Structures are given as structure tokens and as C-alpha cells.
Amino acid sequence: MISATNPESMTADERRLEVANILANGLLRRLRMAETAASSHRETVSKEPRNCLEVPSKTRLSVAPRPGG
């Protein structure tokens, strides 16, 4: 929580502590946002193929006969 104390009446150590708290809170907020985005991304990624472009486990090859000539 940010202090309501006038910065001019604070000691140098109190100001440093205030700045450290602000930076720590910002870092924690950023980490939580990244964690939320990562978990959201994991939920949207499916193990099942959706667009059917994946190669099946057994691929059948066929070759058309070459026209004579």
C-alpha cells in the first residue's frame, strides 16, 4: 500500500522503502498477469487436431502410371 505521508517529511530510508514497495507490487502484478495469460493459453490449446492438417500415423503413397510415349 502506498503511504499518504508527504515525501518531504520522510527520511531517505522511508522513501527508498516506499519506492521498493511500489516496484515489488508492480512486479507481482506483472507476474500474475503473465501466469493468468499462460493458463488461459493452455486451456485454448487442444491435444486433438482441429484443422486436420496433421499427418496420419500411417501414410499411404500411391503412384500413377506414367503415360507411354
Length of the chain: 69
Q: Can you spell out the DSSP letters for 33-61?
A: HHHHHHHHHHHH--SS-SSS-SPPSS---
- Ramachandran region of residue 61, left (φ > 0), alpha (ψ -120 to 50) or beta? beta
Residue 29: its pLDDT value, please? 95
Cell readout for 21 is 514497495
Instruction: For the chain, 69 residues long, give each residue's pLDDT as a single digit of tens.
Output: 566 788 889 999 999 999 999 999 999 999 999 988 887 766 555 566 556 566 666 777 777 888 876
